[in-house]
Structure 1
Amino acid sequence: MRLLLAFLRRDLRIATAYRLNALLLLSGGLFTLTLFYFLARTVGEAPLVRSRYGADYFSFALVGLATAALLRALQLGFGGAVRAAQNDGSLEPLLGAPLSTLHVVTLMGAWPVANALLRSLGLLAFGALLFGAKLHLHPVSFLVTLLLSALTFCALGLLSAAFVLVFKRGDPFTYALDSLSYLFAGVLYPTEVLPPLLRVMARFLPATHALHGLREAALRGATPAQLLTTWMALLAFCLVLWPLAALALSAARRHVEQAGTLPHS
């Protein structure tokens, strides 16, 4: 816990040193909400969204956008932290600590994870308070679904970090998964509008289950009993992806040490 707080304090100081960046993020979030607010008014009543989630289109899109922003940040945050450490020369001493590679990279990504969570929750709050989104949130269901979704995508982010550690550039598979999620997981439209084959394929995307569970909890106030199937799916992804992430980071660490490329940016 002490190490985690130390990493968070360090990265918070760095983040707050660039106040213009925080202002740009805030204005960008408000711009996105405004854009989709007027788009929702143009779309009008969406019968499929209303029958599926009992919500108007803006509320539906708000949860989708907030969730997608969070999942994308989790996928990219760990690799971004590793790349930044490669560039400033701090990666080698960090990996020299008496900790596993998984432990070190997880600590390095603590601030991107915390920042992503705060930004996404902020989008939901501003959408409800400033734009009138109607959220009927079940706190326990929402928090458990959010935790399982974050754990799943943190594992994907750690896999991406292993790629960055070896190749010193962004992971193309992460960008491909992000694009597939936007197309097929139901970020801006229900998966029910997809052809049957694509609906089946969407079930293999973790974002599909994260979006469905968070919408059920935030828009319909679904109880834990109603979300057990979704939670089991997300837990299955976690049980597969976390061991893979640990193995990938260990293999990446061995590779760069044997190749002598760890100190190189």
Structure 2
Amino acid sequence: MRETTGVRRTPRLRPVRPAGWWFDGLLLAALVGLTVALASGHLLGLDRAVADWADAHRPAAAYWVARLLNFLGQGTPLTLLAAGVGVVVGVRLRSVRPILPPVVAFLLTNLTIGPLKLWTDRAAPSASVKPPYLPEADTVRLFHTDGVYGMSYPSGHVANAIVWYGVLALLLPALLRTVRRTVPARLVTVVRVLPPLIVLATTTYLGWHWLTDSVAGLLLGLLLDRLLHRVPWDDLPLPGPLRHRDAPFTSVP
């Protein structure tokens, strides 16, 4: 980590794993392929079978445990938490840079997840048994036309969990370094991996999303996460008035 502020360096993309853009292309191709398959009527039987199994194996105790765990993927609390951590790190370092990842993540998620939901117009599995009471055969389809807009595909819970826990994994080590503490690399991995997997499982089990909704959220979330972790946050050029508030916060790879 560089120790001085006001020093310009040529921004270079940060490394990600797997390295290279081929994996990003694979994620995008998988998301497009999954969407085309669903729009063509494929995999709908799998979605219905998984939803029917969950309906038949959801006792009250399991329902409430899953519902509590699903709060790990709530977008607004995660956004506020990440923004709060970014502000605290920024204040302690006297830098605006730690605030940038939450802002960019907020813009990315809102410019991708929401528009995709509106475009694909897919209802949730529960839409046939509660408002808007769509015909059961219609709920599983993409681009359905009956009733209000569907907002199920892709799963925002899953995509948000991947993006926001990735941002927290970027900021928490910086926060701990300000108090001369370090965070084990394994803990960072757990923060990034475990909550999204829990959210994927619970949101499907609760019938709030079809299985392929959750898979699409996973693909989109991973793609956005890789974009965010490539950004050279410590070396982005800042406007003149902010150049004395540009202390770095990420460790040198």
Q: Going by fraction, where is helix more abundant, 1 or 2?
A: 1
Higher relative contact order (CA 8 A, sep 6+): 2
TM over 0.5: no
Normalised to the residue count of structure 2, the TM-score between the two structures is: 0.34
Q: Which has the larger radius of gyration?
A: 2
TM-score by length of structure 1 reads: 0.33
